[in-house]
Chain A
């Protein structure tokens, strides 16, 4: 049976079991207990300030394909040998990549064969160092006015040490951009133009608009 088959036959059962235990620990613990990983959507980098939704957390947009930058910092004094990122249900996997060499990317699937996590193994993050992993995901569609907060679970595996983990929330909100510009800015700019035009007619000679 196996867990390894279920998860694509790549991860060792021992490691997968550890990861699952870790998943339970992380998902039942409060966010911020472990703080050596961050998950940040590209949309927050390029287009929206962090926390552009309702809370002080990274934000992305409903229904778009976005790149998620996962920064892992090794705060321990032993080397980190693997990273597993479980993305929330509703997110569709598109692609995974990593900047540094030596990492082997493995897609882990759930029972129905849908990608549920990505693991990176085969290289090391030395104590005090960090590494950046990229996940391209298609965001879930949130309701008409109901935004959603989703937790990414990030597990970090070490040599001869207990694994670490973190729970990193991302808020998915409705689109807020019109013609590539923030809709509120566009609205207020449009209104400003209207009032400027009203003022401008005062200097237009003999014109009765």
Chain B
């Protein structure tokens, strides 16, 4: 439960986001998305979409994030230790993907991503019948990734400050706000934390949709099959 932000705001974020996912599911259950864009270059073999380091990072991050949340608030030190582990994983991720794979540009939103998102939005609202092929990362995924960077930074700063200077869990509840500084790190931590939980639920939802199973398999086993890639994706943008 939130300790700084009003419950209505914190839980409201989860409710609104879940409501959107429920509406999305209903819509796509009655009208599935069918790709209308012709394939450009066809793949002749299976493609490695995620290497071992990327997959290991992804699943290790999943486990650590679950533990970060399940450990809180009873075990603040455990929460802090897992948060530190998460920071370590992020260092590995940045070093590998940006330093080794030179893949920073893949996560940066482009104009084409906005066009695709607009067309998908129109299709969702029955304004257009066309539906674009998917890239490895679409606009939502790229924005989610940008939010993760901002969110982790904000959560780290507010979390470290609380741990060192405003440990409200060490005082009786009605004294929380007497040790809280004017910039309200607890409130900021709560709002960013609950937004992160909402987006992670969205991430899990979209990952488990049948339409995205090829990418989910690729995140598990590394490869995406030639047939799947040619059917729904832009093969050039899967690598």
Tell whether B91 is near chain A: CB-to-CB under 8 Å: no
B residues less than 8 Å from A175 (CB atoms)? 6, 8
B209 near A55 with CB under 8 A, answer: no
**With A149-B174, A191-B18, A193-B22 as contacts: A209 and B210 at CB distance below 8 Å:** yes
A184-207 contacts to B, CB under 8 A, are 184, 186-187, 190-191, 193-194, 197-198, 201, 204, 207
Min CB distance, A103 to chain B, in Å? 35
Q: Does B184 contact A (CB under 8 A)?
A: yes
B186 close to A (CB within 8 Å): yes
Say yes or no: A145-B184 contact (C-beta < 8 A), given A55-B174, A209-B25: yes
Give residues 1-60 of B contacting A (CB, 8 Å): 1, 4-8, 11-12, 14-15, 18-19, 21-22, 25, 28-29, 32-33
Chain B proximity mask over A39-73: 1 for CB below 8 Å, otherwise 0: 00000000000000011000000000000000000
- A129 beta carbon closer than 8 Å to chain B: no
Q: What are the residues of chain A within 8 A of B29 when measuring CB–CB?
A: 201, 204, 207, 209
A174-B6, A175-B8 as given contacts; A209 in contact with B18, CB under 8 Å: no
Are B177 and A194 within 8 A (Cβ)?
Answer: no
**Are A201 and B173 in contact, with the CB atoms below 8 A?**
no
The one of B1, B28, B186 that contacts A184, using a Cβ cutoff of 8 Å: B1
User: A66 to chain B: closest CB distance in Å?
Assistant: 17
Residue of B nearest to A207 (CB): B32
Could you tell me the distance between the alpha carbons of A197 and B19 in the complex, rounded to whole angstroms? 12
Asked if A144 is an interface residue, CB under 8 A from chain B, the answer is yes
Chain A 141-155, CB-CB to B under 8 Å as 1, else 0, gives 000111101000000
B21–A187 contact, CB under 8 A?
Answer: no
**Chain B residues whose CB sits within 8 angstroms of the CB of A54 once the complex forms:** 173-174
Chain A residues with Cβ below 8 Å from B210 are: 201, 207-209
A55-B174, A145-B187 known; A176 vs B208 contact (CB < 8 Å): no
Q: CB-CB contacts of B196-233 with A at 8 A, as 1s and 0s?
A: 00000100110011110000000000000000000000
Residues of A close to B22: CB separation below 8 A: 190, 193-194, 197
| One of A186, A197, A209 near B15 (C-beta < 8 A) | A186
Cross-chain contact B177 with A187 (CB below 8 angstroms): no
Size class of the contact patch on chain A? 20 to 34
CA distance A193 to B149 in the complex (A): 29
CA separation between A181 and B210, bound complex, in Å?
Answer: 32
Contact: A178 with B173, CB < 8 Å?
no
- The interface residues of chain B lying within 8 Å CB-to-CB of A190 are 14-15, 18-19, 22
Answer whether A209 and B28 are a contact pair too, CB < 8 Å, given A184-B1, A198-B205. yes
B11 pairs with A145, CB closer than 8 A: no
Contact residues in B for A184 (Cβ distance below 8 Å): 1, 7, 11
Chain A residues with Cβ below 8 Å from B184 are 145
**Complex Cα–Cα for A190 and B201 (A):** 11
- Residues in chain B near residue A146, CB distance under 8 A: 177
CB distance from B185 to the nearest CB of A (A): 12
A183 interface residue per 8 A CB criterion: yes
A178 to B15, CA, bound (A): 9
CB–CB A145/B201 < 8 A: no
Question: In chain B, what residue has the closest Cβ to A144?
Answer: B6
B211 and A208 contacting across the interface, CB-CB below 8 Å: yes
Taking the closest CB of chain B, its distance from the CB of A159, in whole angstroms, is 39
Q: Specify which chain B residues have a CB less than 8 angstroms from the CB of A207 in the assembled complex.
A: 29, 32, 210
Query: Contact residues of B with A, CB < 8 Å?
Result: 1, 4-8, 11-12, 14-15, 18-19, 21-22, 25, 28-29, 32-33, 173-174, 177, 184, 186-187, 201, 204-205, 208-211
Besides A184-B7, A187-B11, A191-B14, 9 new A-B residue pairs in contact (Cβ under 8 A), listed by A number: A55-B174, A144-B187, A145-B6, A176-B11, A178-B15, A187-B14, A194-B21, A201-B208, A204-B29
The 6 closest A-B pairs by CB, nearest first: A190-B18, A183-B11, A187-B11, A187-B14, A174-B6, A54-B173
Can you list 11 A-B pairs with a CB-CB distance of less than 8 A?
A145-B177, A147-B174, A176-B7, A178-B8, A183-B15, A184-B11, A186-B11, A190-B14, A208-B211, A209-B210, A209-B211
